[in-house]
Amino acid sequence: MTLLTAVPAAAPERPPSRPSRLLIAGLVAGPLFTAMFLAEGALRGGGYSPLRHPVSSLALGPQGWRQVTAFIAAGLLVVLFSIGLRRSLRPGPGSLVVPPLVAIWGIGLIGAGVFPTDPVGGYPTAATPATWHGQLHDLAFSLPGFTALALAMLTASVAFARRGSIWFAAYSALSSVAFAVLFAFATMGFSGVAPWTSAAGLWQRLCVSVGWLWLFLFAVDRRRATR
């Protein structure tokens, strides 16, 4: 008598996933925002100094709508990127924590555009009593946004070390430290603490440049990984 053994058919191999189109938003947001504040800072008169004054002050005055638009557009792009990031990281380390932290950075940018800052460093007017929208700008959006991006870098360094990508883990850790230190320098400068006041705007621009560069390279890495 012949015995027949049923052998289950092999499961079809899963086709390679396509990179999410939403990851492209991470490639665009940083260059767009940076180009805008560099151009606006170079052209803005009325006593504005890119070395001394924050990027947020560019949202004040008759031409401020351009910087407001840049805040909101970049923020929306970052939120879209965070969705694509969630899809590209799962399953695996960092997939539950890093994308929400990146999204908070994007929401912070949107809020910073919607709620304008108060005058800083004498621009565009002398110091005035704190306003409700200035408090929202600083405490509800800017501070949480910067904090979230620093934590996103730090969390990504741990996640990518577990994933075996040592170079990006090390780069994320160094970026997190540089971002936090430069943010501290800028914050002290805008608060009038010597000797940081005269270059507070420069410290802030270096800080956000570190953050945008990390986000851009993160998007590049994720697009390559999902091809």
Say whether pLDDT at 10 is over 50: no
Residues 29 and 108 sit within 8 Å (Cβ to Cβ): no
**pLDDT of res. 19:** 52
Half-sphere exposure of 98 (CA within 13 A, CB side): 28
Structural domain spans, the chain: 22-121+131-225
pLDDT tens across 62-112, in order? 899 999 999 999 999 999 999 999 999 988 888 899 999 999 999 999 999
Question: The pTM is what?
Answer: 0.89
DSSP alpha helix (H) spans, the chain? 24-43, 64-89, 98-114, 132-135, 143-163, 166-190, 200-225
Half-sphere exposure of 151 (CA within 13 A, CB side): 15
Burial class, 227, CB count within 10 angstroms (exposed 0-12 / middle 13-18 / buried 19+): exposed
Q: Residue type for 173, please?
A: A
Q: What sign for the dihedral angle of Cα 117, 28, 171, 86?
A: positive
Average confidence score pLDDT of the chain:
90
What residues contact residue 65 under an 8 Å CB cut-off, 6+ apart?
none
**pLDDT of res. 18:** 53
